[in-house]
């Protein structure tokens, strides 16, 4: 007897755009421009430009498995690069422009990218990155107003990507590689503080997209207009550049403008139904609408994540905008979605939702032993699934335990209905506005000052950003707050600089002789 069989259908990301181009060719990707205008393109025309981008990159010597770095905002041009790179089997290495040039150069050196594609207004940062990444052969500029290359790029040549597209010839076949091939690379501080690369595969991102589209997750349909404020340079933009074309939804991109007034104009003009981003974005929107008595009747839902949301802010957003706020939890290592509050669940800021099929949660003790009871107790959170990391980029050892569980570094509870509540972090990293801050790097700089005996940085609760860093020091001599903080400038990202300095006559130490950060958080971390 011969069993029947199904067709081979590799789960590669190019299929999302090809589907949209065929079945929803006129559904649009809209990008906000500086000054209030917009650019727009249908999925069919977008695919043509994405394929031309692949041909252009092939002409520069980019092939299957090669990394192409991007330093760019949420724009049509960035989407074209994503699909142009991934469709041909190369790997899109997204860089976070909020980090320092030294950090970003180190990441490019690790990824061995030979092409860097940067937004025009980020060209000065790109120049600084190239000074520490000499192996980069090509600097391409996108989103240049008036088609002009920005000044100040130094001796390294830069070319407008658009001019290369006009010269591109030939055609690159999309797909034709294994679905387990890498498609994306994003570095994260992880749960230990050292920058680590997370490699996404076509299969993992494809399955992540299908999960996100479920009715009890993001519940996106072809009738939606989705405003993606969550950045494309961080954690796959929560998968929205894949999910929108998968169902033919309109994808609205704010460029670099995420202030309340700009978002309000964009939402009203494009009949946005779903907004996705960190809580501080929506606080800015609410404050603008309150000041102007504005209304956004098309907006139905806001999906938040990346940072804890204050209950008062959630209530304020829902009442002022007349929307439903869906909370979520995830990590770069999870592609990034872990849990999302379903529309059927009561609105609750502290709950991050339930896991959908394809991701599973486990609570353990500090040693990784599963807790006998998994409901209504606090434990160390572990996760596994089809879009969960197995090992970090360049690492031999797996990031998971023997059973395949990835330790998130979070402390959590799961209630009787299966809703996840993040209660803290086992590690010291500070999450501010959805981005990680590494206290150890700040402490190393401050601790090197001759006037400083001991230094500690902890996160303090903040109504806007979730957490903000504060500096606690034990000094040996006279040194001003200004000198302490000035030592950090140029050494860490500007938004890492602590909001306040507290001087302690004696730094509290734990029994091991290390600084007692548990005590410091208890006394100074409450806000």
Q: Which residues are catalytic?
A: 188, 333, 431, 436
With residue 14 as reference, give the H or E element that holds it: helix 14-23
Question: Which residue matches tokens 């390294």?
Answer: 156
- As a whole number of angstroms, the distance between CA 105 and CA 337 comes to 28
Q: Cα separations (Å) of 390 from 108, 232, 439, 470?
A: 22, 22, 26, 34
- As a whole number of angstroms, the distance between CA 243 and CA 211 comes to 10
| DSSP state at residue 521 | H
- As a whole number of angstroms, the distance between CA 128 and CA 124 comes to 7
| DSSP state at residue 308 | -
Is the N-terminal amide bond of 112 cis, ω within 30° of 0? Answer: no
Pairing state of beta strands 274-277 and 301-304?
parallel
Distance from CA of residue 311 to its chain's centroid?
A: 23
Structure tokens at 289: 């609408």
Question: Which residue matches tokens 């000074």?
Answer: 131
425 φ, ψ to 5°? -130, 135
Spatial neighbors of 166 by CB under 8 A, at least 6 apart, are none
């Amino acid at each position: 007897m011969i069993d029947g069989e199904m067709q081979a259908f590799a789960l590669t990301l190019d299929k999302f755009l090809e589907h949209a181009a065929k079945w929803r060719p006129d559904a649009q990707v809209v990008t906000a421009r500086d000054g209030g205008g917009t650019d727009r393109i249908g999925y069919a025309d977008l695919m043509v430009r994405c394929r031309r981008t692949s041909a252009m990159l092939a002409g520069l010597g980019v092939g299957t498995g090669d990394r192409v770095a991007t330093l760019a905002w949420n724009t049509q041009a960035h989407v074209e690069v994503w699909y142009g790179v991934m469709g041909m089997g190369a790997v899109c290495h997204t860089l976070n422009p909020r980090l320092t040039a030294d950090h970003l150069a180190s990441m490019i050196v690790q990824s061995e990218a030979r092409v860097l594609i940067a937004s025009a207004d980020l060209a000065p940062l790109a120049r600084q990155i190239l000074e520490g990444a000499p192996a980069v052969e090509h600097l391409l500029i996108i989103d240049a107003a008036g088609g002009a290359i920005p000044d100040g790029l130094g001796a390294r040549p830069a070319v407008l990507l658009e001019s290369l597209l006009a010269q591109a010839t030939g055609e690159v076949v999309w797909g034709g590689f294994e679905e387990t091939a890498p498609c994306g690379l994003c570095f994260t501080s992880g749960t230990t503080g050292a920058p680590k690369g997370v490699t996404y595969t076509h299969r993992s991102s494809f399955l992540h997209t299908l999960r996100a589209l479920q009715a009890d997750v993001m519940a996106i349909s072809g009738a939606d207009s989705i405003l993606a404020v969550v950045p494309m340079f961080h954690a796959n933009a929560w998968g929205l550049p894949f999910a929108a074309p998968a169902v033919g939804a309109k994808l609205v991109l704010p460029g670099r403008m995420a202030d309340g007034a700009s978002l309000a104009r964009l939402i009203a003009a494009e009949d946005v139904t779903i907004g996705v981003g960190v809580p501080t974005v929506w606080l800015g929107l609410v404050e603008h609408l309150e000041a102007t008595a504005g209304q956004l009747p098309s907006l139905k839902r806001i999906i938040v994540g990346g940072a804890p949301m204050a209950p008062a802010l959630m209530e304020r957003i829902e009442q002022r905008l007349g929307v439903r706020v869906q909370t979520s939890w995830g990590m770069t290592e999870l592609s990034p979605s872990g849990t999302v509050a379903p529309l059927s669940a009561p609105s609750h800021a502290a709950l991050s939702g339930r896991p959908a099929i394809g991701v599973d949660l486990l609570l353990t003790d500090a040693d990784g032993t599963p807790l006998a009871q998994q409901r209504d107790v606090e434990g160390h959170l572990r996760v596994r699934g089809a879009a969960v990391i197995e090992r970090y980029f360049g690492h031999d050892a797996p990031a998971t335990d023997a059973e395949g569980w990835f330790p998130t570094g979070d402390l959590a509870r799961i209630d009787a209905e299966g809703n996840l509540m993040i209660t803290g972090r086992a590690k010291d990293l500070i999450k501010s506005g959805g981005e990680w801050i590494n206290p150890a790097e700040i402490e190393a700089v401050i601790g090197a000052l001759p006037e400083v005996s001991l230094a500690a940085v902890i996160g303090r609760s903040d109504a806007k950003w979730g957490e903000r860093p504060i500096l606690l020091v034990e000094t040996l001599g006279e040194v001003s707050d200004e000198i302490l903080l000035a030592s950090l400038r140029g050494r860490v990202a500007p938004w890492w600089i602590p909001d306040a300095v507290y001087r302690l006559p004696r730094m509290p130490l734990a029994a091991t002789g290390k600084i007692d950060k548990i005590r410091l958080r208890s006394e100074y971390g409450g806000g």
